[in-house]
Structure 1
């Protein structure tokens, strides 16, 4: 006759991770305010006015139709990847809409001819 064995299951590592994540998120919310951390896929209602970048694909990827108006943004990428061109398109679009803009060129490579050519038709 076979004897009955009692099997004990240890908590799964996945449930431990989930509890640890929930604890960490609760602590962050407590320290910095609710909404500091958002989960991917959550779409809180935020009415942020956007300035189009000039690229429909990028505007769609950013989720609001461009870059947020009234915010400081950083454009980062490898050399000759179009960062300055993108920035100048955004500035021209903002000026077209009556906005005031500031451009800080950390690489200090933008000459007057580049700035002038990007403004054509955007006064």
Structure 2
């Protein structure tokens, strides 16, 4: 696709994102959000041409629970067998929506899963318990 407004915007911008709606999230017949795909078209400050998919819930923002489910399955912290999801050997729900509801109702499980995902992706030093060390050091310097 072409960018409107001539060529100046293409060259002047440091970061350009292509944001597309790829599906609707429904609760019954009511649409409560969108599944969204973002493609980095141009990036002068980081590697370009990356893709991301996430859920945006109206009135809430990016779905934290949806991200936890997706990342948990990707990093094999949540086991998926058919439509059933299990965490640490316990079945937490059938279908992604039920697992998201479970994580919303049990924030301690969601926090533990998030900590394990952070440890696995960012390393042990970036776990939730120590994730604010840099901010604290900067505030001490100010």
TM more than 0.5: no
Which structure is richer in relative contact order (CA contacts within 8 A, separation 6 or more)? Answer: 1
Please state which structure has a larger fraction of its residues in strand.
2
TM-score range (shorter-chain normalised) is under 0.3
> Rg larger in 1 or in 2?
1
TM-score, normalised to structure 1, is 0.26
